[in-house]
Chain A
Amino acid sequence: QSVLTQPPSVSAAPGQTVTISCSGSSSNIGNNYVSWYQQLPGTAPKLLIFDNDKRPSGIPDRFSGSKSGTSATLGLTGLQTGDEADYYCGTWDSGSLSVVFGGGTKLTVL
């Protein structure tokens, strides 16, 4: 049981837009920055979004992040087959003094 809650899967057609939600509490998302990671099959996770809505260098602006209260959202526009991956949200939890992750969301591009 993950501390952060994500939908197990989402799907959309190429070129479409999809959002992935991440729900937490005041001890984690509510008072700390959220990061998002993309994990392609058989590879290490890759940072997509940090500090709620910032993109590291090299991440296309098709990826976006937002946060409101105790929830965060990852947005992907112009979906490509290469975006098929598992996506994880993560943040610091001030109560347990640890990093917590969502259970991951598998994106299928139909």
Chain B
Amino acid sequence: QVQLVQSGAEVKKPGSSVKVSCNTSGGTFSSYAITWVRQAPGQGLEWMGGIIPIFGTVNYAQKFQGRVTITADTSTSTAYMDLSSLKSEDTAVYYCARTYCTGGVCPYRGDVWGQGTTVTVSS
């Protein structure tokens, strides 16, 4: 059974960094596209970026360029999202999601989602 288990809630100071992990089980890790989406309190979904391990491809939303780093460790089937220079506006639930690559196509649509990680940025 496919499962994505994310790391626990974090409370961070403005200006610091946070690293959220997403451990996947079921299937071959490198055969999937991993996407990261966040949701601020009471707001909609916002795409941050994604990674396709089999191609070594990483894509970032322009809004987060230079502040977010997405990586993947194929040996532990775990993806990571590192967000730096945190501001209060970064307070949100952060989700990872996975989509199987088929026919050489690896969409970031998110077929299976993690449970979410709450990140609170407060002084």
Contact B108 A88 (CB under 8 A): no
6 extra interface residue pairs, beta carbon distance < 8 Å, beyond A45-B95, A103-B44:
A2-B44, A33-B107, A35-B109, A44-B116, A56-B111, A90-B47
The yes or no answer to B120 lying at the interface (CB within 8 A) is no
Contact B44 A101 (CB under 8 A): yes
CB neighbours (8 Å) of A44 from chain B are 95, 113-116
Contact B62 A98 (CB under 8 A): yes
Given contacts A98-B47, A104-B45, contact A46 B107 (CB under 8 A): no
Q: Which 7 A-B pairs have the closest CB atoms?
A: A99-B47, A44-B113, A104-B44, A35-B109, A101-B45, A98-B61, A103-B44
The yes or no answer to A24 lying at the interface (CB within 8 A) is no
Please pick, from A46, A88, A96, the residue contacting B45 in the complex, using a CB distance under 8 A.
Answer: A88
A contacts with B: majority SS:
strand
Task: Report the tally of A-B residue pairs with Cβ distances under 8 A.
Answer: 59
The yes or no answer to B91 lying at the interface (CB within 8 A) is no
Report Cα–Cα, A107/B34, bound state, in Å. 28
The yes or no answer to A65 lying at the interface (CB within 8 A) is no
Report 7 cross-chain contacts, Cβ distance below 8 Å, ordered by A residue.
Answer: A37-B45, A44-B114, A45-B37, A96-B62, A98-B47, A98-B62, A101-B47
Report Cα–Cα, A98/B37, bound state, in Å. 11
Interface range on chain A (Cβ under 8 Å from partner): 20 to 34
The yes or no answer to B82 lying at the interface (CB within 8 A) is no
Q: How far does the Cβ of A65 sit from chain B's closest Cβ, in whole Å?
A: 12
Report Cα–Cα, A97/B46, bound state, in Å. 14
Report Cα–Cα, A92/B47, bound state, in Å. 10
CB neighbours (8 Å) of B61 from chain A are 96, 98-99
Report Cα–Cα, A88/B47, bound state, in Å. 12
Q: Which residue of B lies closest to A46 (CB)?
A: B113
